[in-house]
Amino acid sequence: MIKSENLVYEYKRNISDNKEDRIRVLDGLNIDIEDGQFISIVGHNGSGKSTLARHLNALLMPTGGTLWVNGMDTSDENNTLSIRQNTGMVFQNPDNQIVASVVEEDVAFALENIGVPTDDIWRRVEKSLATVGMIKYREDAPNHLSGGQKQRIAIAGILAMKPRCIVLDESTAMLDPGGRKEVIDAVRELNSKEHINIILITHYMEETIYSDRIFVMNRGRIVMDGPPEHIFSDISMLKKYNLEAPQAVYIADRLRKEGFVINKPVLSMDDLVSVFADYKIGVGNVDRGKKS
């Protein structure tokens, strides 16, 4: 469970020798995320997404307001290690987060840090590598793996800590479409089978359509919050925040403007196809002839 009250993060920037400027990156956030949810956070660059992510596992501390992760106040340094075990983080660049030169040793890194006994390390490393489908690469050098595989290793490294939440901070941004799918499939499965809370920060709107909730961030605030069908019902709002809708949503929106009756929520091409299937069996279907 993650909850914040009026969360603020500011930093100072020197404009000239004795003048300072205060930059407010997070501007009074109030969030409340229940366990086991799949949350997506979208927003253009500089909207504060990554700064929020870094607060969730105490890499950054709030300069105002409070954030609780699993009931622990993140600004209390005594909680830092427990919070980081509870909430793991996958970063953007797959190369820059791998510590060891052998896959299984990298997965073990966090466990070594928190002092897990050797026998337990082996068991937990094995289990997490199997969960992300990377067990057969356990003795390989990470340099030879694809981007998607490297990110799955990073996920396994977190999984080994038995976390309740995994934050993906633009972890699909540097991957090709195949790699992106690998990562999204892996975290969707963790969410549905192991009930691990997933917080996915991404620029690819297609990845967010499976979430329970989407947060849209702009200038350090959450400006939209709701299930995908709610967020994608208003494309003009998304445009205002410099974002795009998934293609199916875009087509549905254009068709609505042309007067087509589309009463059910459309998120994917499958949804769109089913709208036209409904027309065939007569739902909302009366031949309109050639007028309008």
Question: What is the footprint of another protein within residues 247-266 (CB under 8 A)?
Answer: 247-248, 250-251, 254-255, 258-261
**Considering only residues 148-187, where is the footprint of another protein by CB under 8 A?**
157-158, 161, 170, 173-174, 176-179
Residues 162, 174: Cα–Cα separation, whole Å? 26
Per-residue 3-state assignment (H helix, E strand, C coil) for 94-113: CHHHCCCCCHHHHHHHHHHH
**Considering only residues 47-66, where is the footprint of another protein by CB under 8 A?**
54, 57, 59
Neighbours of 111 (CB within 10 A): 22
Considering only 2-10, 20-28, 43-51, 193-201, which stretch makes contact with another protein by CB under 8 A? 43-51
Using CB under 8 A as the binding criterion, the count of chain residues that bind another protein stands at 81
Q: Specify the residue, 71 or 284, whose C-beta has the smaller distance to another protein.
A: 284
Among 64, 71, 226, 284, binds another protein (CB under 8 A): 284
Contacts (Cβ under 8 Å, ≥6 apart) of 77: none
Among 72, 223, 244, 265, binds another protein (CB under 8 A): 244
Among 28, 36, 46, 133, binds another protein (CB under 8 A): 46
Note whether 91 binds another protein by CB under 8 A: yes
Residues 124, 272: Cα–Cα separation, whole Å? 43
Among 1, 102, 135, 223, binds another protein (CB under 8 A): 102
Residues 171, 202: Cα–Cα separation, whole Å? 8
Note whether 287 binds another protein by CB under 8 A: yes
Q: Specify the residue, 30 or 144, whose C-beta has the smaller distance to another protein.
A: 144
Contacts (Cβ under 8 Å, ≥6 apart) of 145: 103, 137, 153
**Considering only residues 188-217, where is the footprint of another protein by CB under 8 A?**
203, 205
Residues 200, 128: Cα–Cα separation, whole Å? 20
**Considering only residues 104-133, where is the footprint of another protein by CB under 8 A?**
104-105, 108-118, 121-122, 125
Residues 158, 72: Cα–Cα separation, whole Å? 19
Least distance to another protein from the beta carbon of 173, Å?
Answer: 5
* Parallel/antiparallel/unpaired status of strands 38-42 and 213-218: parallel
Query: For residue 40, what are its two tokens?
Result: 């997506």
Cβ atoms of residues 239 and 231 within 8 Å? no
- DSSP state, 172? T
Note whether 272 binds another protein by CB under 8 A: yes
By three-state DSSP, how is residue 178 classified?
Answer: helix
Cβ atoms of residues 147 and 176 within 8 Å? yes
Note whether 81 binds another protein by CB under 8 A: yes
**Is the dihedral angle over the CA atoms 29, 38, 205, 130 positive or is it negative?**
positive
Considering only 24-32, 143-151, 220-228, 229-237, which stretch makes contact with another protein by CB under 8 A? 143-151
Q: Specify the residue, 43 or 211, whose C-beta has the smaller distance to another protein.
A: 43
Q: Specify the residue, 84 or 164, whose C-beta has the smaller distance to another protein.
A: 84
- In the shown chain, the binding pattern of residues 12 to 41 toward another protein, with x for contact by CB under 8 A and - for none, equals ------------------------------
